[in-house]
Structure 1
């Protein structure tokens, strides 16, 4: 029900609202020490009414950061490729699911994400404990489990609109708290590993 509510609110955003939020998100995120020190960042390309990521991806790439972007596999796991600018993206339709923008070049395999110093996660909401509500496909749950199995601890950051920081989200046993949420109006940190 919470997913549906958030998606309904997002669907009412104007193109101007989304553009302004995307630039504010990029400004806030680029101030994070975790991203300032990162050599490799796992990220994603926003689609539809998701908080925009392209301005942030371009800024990270311009800093010389290696930006890894996901490519959805048939089993909902994620492969990874490099972002080198908007021309390195391909629009890919995945069956009845939404079309995604994925890296068009070489793929490095699902384990490439373990090299990331920070991972930017999509989501619909995050609560005061740092628990993230995703879309329900499980792709990023697999990413987080892969990081845990590898013993790596990149900074986990969710990018959201201001109203999507909520009191509580439903939690399942496999869910893992994030370190911070970035919204157009600021950053909120949660108890997690210092980076």
Structure 2
């Protein structure tokens, strides 16, 4: 996202809606005020273990992301307030970008340790301009190497499941490449 021009999608975010008394399904509704391609949902977790996202399509609610884990261990506080970025390519084939009107984010917390759990500071973004690739002639050999590493990271991060690189691992790899590039100059 660092070289792209991102724009905030105008979105209305509801408070947590509970269907009955706890334990019960609870969700947050996102209503998109203007249509546009959704690229990212960004939020801060607040003790929620996992989420599922449903999209409203022709008065039906279809699951587009199922049981996405936000914490490694729901009974512990370690990663319960992390910031999360969910790119739209994590959504399954039920996702319809042309029907961007309303989402429901269902919250799950199996631990009785937390009386309240939710998501905070929810924002949705679109990308206005994709980064321009440098021509092969203008790249140094080390820049080529760095670009190949970035392609590998993109491929690894686009896979679904639990085998994704963490944010810290990605930063360590990028900072190592930048350090090596600085020593080559």
Same fold (TM over 0.5): no
- Which structure has more relative contact order (CA 8 Å, sep 6+)? It is 2
Structure with more helix by fraction: 1
Bigger radius of gyration: 2
- TM-score, length-normalised on structure 2? 0.23
Query: Could you state the TM-score of these two structures normalised by the residue count of structure 1?
Result: 0.22
